[in-house]
Structure 1
Amino acid sequence: MNAARLATAWALFQGLLIEAMPFLLLGVLISSVARWLAPGGRWLRQLPHHPLGGPLTGAALGFALPACECGNVPVARRLLAGGAPLGTALGFLFAAPVLNPIVLAGTWAAFPNKPWLLLARPLGAVLVALALASLLALLPESRLLQPDLLAERRLHQPLASVNLLERSTGVLGGNAAMVPAAVNPPRPPWSEVLRHASQEFLDLAVLLVLGCVMAALVQTLVPREWLLAVGGAPTLSIVALMLLSLIVSVCSSVDAFLALSFAAQVTPGALLAFLLLGPVIDLKLVGLLGLLLRPVGLALTAAGASLTVLLIGQWVNLWRG
């Protein structure tokens, strides 16, 4: 790689990191406050378990949390670790990056002359979240979630769902009345919350940096002009813009303004596909999502999101064509 390309990669890396890091910090802060307010996660277990109502409830939480996809990962992890229904947590993880107020306002500011897009983007995000929550629910949690997250999650499950051996508490027998103390512990001191938050932020930040490095290198080596060259083809344009969203890896809070620069060159379905797929899975997100999902879960997420977004894009091209 010559000096010019190296300088370009460095500039792209800085831009991606500066965009994502504040939202990652915000997500860790939200997660830590939630851990302090409800250390036992009792309110999380009251969220709906319904296969449709659960993901929709999780998606609706995005309206109240101004974090992009990077910041949503620590919050979704807190939901799962606290015992929230799987569908609810996944609905939040996959839909909230688009439904948060900053992203909706950014989409409106970038495309005030495309009112259909202001409706299609949040609706499409909900459809993608529903599809992924339904798909991932087919796997048992032991195959879907990372072992450390699964162990913490089992500590907050009722005994009717998880036995003492699965809780990994070391309690093999005795009085079951001992368990509620572990399920609903007292609030931890702020020093412990800050220590936990600092460690979580550092762990996530390392993965985010690695993801930004990978995204910047791929952006430098794969000119986006190649992908935009097929912008007028009904199907190829959608596939090309989906690939572009994976490569550029910008945060959902600013991706609408990037899309504005090439919106006139691509089909409506391709434009929507770019705005839908990136907040679910991209190069910088792989490492962060890997803290929640096992490899099979990541593969199903990428495949399921890609297929759902492709179908939505095709339908929009037929509708707007």
Structure 2
Amino acid sequence: MVLPALLLELSAPALSIPARLVTAWAVFQGLLLEALPFLLLGVSIAALARWLAPGGQWLQRLPRHPLLGPLTGAALGFALPACECGNVPVARRLLAGGAPLGTALGFLFAAPVLNPIVLASTWAAFPNQPWLLAARPLGALAVALVLASLLRLLPEAELLVPEVLAERRLSQPLSAVGLLERRSGLVGLPAAPAGLAPPAPAATGGSAARPPLAEVLEHGGREFLDLAALLVLGCAIAALVQTLLPRSWLLAVGRAPTLSILSLMALAVVVSVCSSVDAFLALGFAAQVTPGALLAFLVLGPVVDLKLVGLFGVLLRPRAIALTVAGASLAVLLIGQWVNLLRL
């Protein structure tokens, strides 16, 4: 597990270069082994949804209200026990299937905290701090609402990567998206990946034909390999950064109201630990930092970390990723400051 290695690194003295490389390799393996099962779970859920509901009509019935949509997406996290890595392929399926933008974004950003495994692990790590058990899901929900509202200001063409945008427009009814935007019908279908037939236009009535199971498995396998390659790169960067950066620098200002929040936000981005176990990591330094900093660590990590930035690249354009990082950081900083005002 990566957790013991991280806790050891928090208190370890300066290491030699060979020892740091060994530590980086151990942390990399821990991060990867921790995240891969959830990534596989997310891809499996997305593939199952594509096979059981190929037309995605149920996705288009989800709420489009600016507030109710993200709340509905966040609520879906209670039924899907996946961390932030596993949520990316599911969110991609929601977007490609024509789900309302706010609903899909609410799921992407809030579900990593609002799922049974993460809530149970938070309770197990901090059973004597009931305020934290309520503040973490509420903080995650607030950040998701902020990000969904912020990203909705961008046109879909500037928000989503071309592959997701093309598949999403094929899923939209003609009353919402014209032929030119759908790039189907008279204008022609979008180019299909090598080895696959071009996607069929969305049906204007009735239910779409269920794709063959072999095709769904092939599509899911290819998606898993693509995401796993990005995950490997992100875990490698996270392992190198957190091994080379002395953790004591970030914890040295643990009792300063504002600097403690900023330092724990940076730590959350660097360690990139899965949301299902990050509460146990936070338990190791909870007594050294302010309450707002502790909450900031637990809320920001599942939304923005080094391994997630690469995964977001299969959904969002670089400008949208930059807005996500900036918006989440500002929202978490304000939440942490507010908590410190109340509890210090």
The answer on 1:223 being equivalent to 2:246 is: yes
Query: Are 1:125 and 2:118 matched, yes or no?
Result: no
Matches within 5 A, 1:154-193: 154-172=169-187, 180=203, 184-193=207-216
Is 1:265 matched up with 2:288?
yes
Equivalent position amino acid for 1:162 in 2 = V
Closer, same or farther: CA 207–42 of 1 in aligned 2, 3 Å: same
1:248 aligns with 2:235: no
| Counterpart residue number, 1:111 | 126
Unaligned runs of 5+ in 1: none
Match for residue 332 of structure 2 among 284, 309, 314 = 309
* Shift of residue 91, structure 1, vs aligned partner: 0.2
Give the Cα separation in 2 of the matches to 1:29 and 1:53: 27
Contact conserved, 2:55 with 2:202, CA < 8 A, in 1? no
The answer to whether the Cα contact below 8 Å between 1:80 and 1:89 also exists between their aligned partners in 2 is yes
Distance 1:183 1:310, change over 3 A: farther
TM-score by length of 1: 0.97
Aligned residue for 2:99, secondary structure, equals coil
Distance 2:204 2:212 in 1: 17
Q: Is it true that 1:40 corresponds to 2:70 in the alignment?
A: no
CA distance in 2, matches of 1:223, 1:151: 44
Over the aligned positions, Cα root-mean-square deviation in angstroms equals: 1.4
Shift of 1:2: 2.1
Q: Given residue 91 of structure 1, which amino acid in structure 2 is its aligned partner?
A: G
Residue 174 of structure 2 is aligned to residue 151 of structure 1: no
The structural deviation recorded for 1:281 is: 0.9
**Deviation at 1:185?**
2.4
Q: What are the superposed Cα offsets for residues 143-175 of structure 1, whole Å, 9 maximum, x if unpaired?
A: 0000010000000111122111111225249xx
Equivalent-residue separation in structure 2 for 1:266 and 1:92 (angstroms):
30
- The answer for the alignment partner of 1:298 in structure 2 is 321
Distance of 2:138 and 2:235 partners within structure 1: 28
TM-score (norm 2): 0.90
What is the match of residue 73 of structure 2? 58
**Correspondence for 2:39:** 24
Deviations 1:184-219 (A, max 9, x none): 521111111110110000000000000000000000
Compared with structure 1, are the counterparts of its residues 25 and 298 closer, same or farther at alpha carbon in structure 2 (3 Å cutoff)?
same
The counterpart of 1:8, out of the listed 23, 26, 33, is: 23
Deviates more, 1:82-91 or 1:179-188: 179-188
Match of 2:311 among 248, 267, 288: 288
1:166 maps to a residue whose letter is E
- Within 2, Cα distance between the matches of 1:38 and 1:130? 27
The 3-state SS of whatever aligns with 1:29 is helix
In 2, Cα distance between equivalents of 1:309 and 1:237:
13
- The amino acid of 2:103's aligned partner reads T
Which amino acid is 1:129 matched to? A
* Percent of aligned pairs with the same amino acid: 76
CA contact (8 A) 2:38 2:85 kept: yes
CA–CA distance in structure 1, aligned partners of residues 56 and 20 of structure 2? 48
- Aligned residues between the structures: 317
**Cα distance between partner residues in 2 of 1:279 and 1:214:** 17
Structure-1 separation of matches of 2:42 and 2:269? 22
Report the alpha carbon displacement of residue 42 of structure 1 after superposing the two structures with TM: 0.2
